[in-house]
Amino acid sequence: YRFPIKNKFGGELFIDVGRLYETIYDFTTTSLIWDYGMGIIYQTGLGPIRIDVGFPYGELANPQLHASLLYMF
């Protein structure tokens, strides 16, 4: 969910779920990995600059920081 903050700044909230499997037959819903987080977006003339922090579900002590140019999706 993206929302404006002020001028060229925006924010976002997200939930991410997934996992990689060797084959489709290995898939189970109980083995999926959940993450959630938030981010700040700054709009430039070339595109957005994003800084996100994500937390593995149930592990607030182990956040992951991610910086990027442009949108993920």
- Residues 34, 54: Cα–Cα separation, whole Å: 10
Mean pLDDT of the chain: 91
Q: 37 or 60: whose pLDDT is higher?
A: 37
Q: Is 39 exposed, middle or buried (0-12, 13-18, 19+ CB in 10 A)?
A: buried
pLDDT (tens digit per residue) in 2-26:
999 999 999 999 999 999 999 999 9
- State mean pLDDT over 14-41: 93
Give percent of the chain above pLDDT 90.
75
Domain total of the chain: 1
The pLDDT value given to residue 70: 81
Q: 58: domain range? A: 2-69
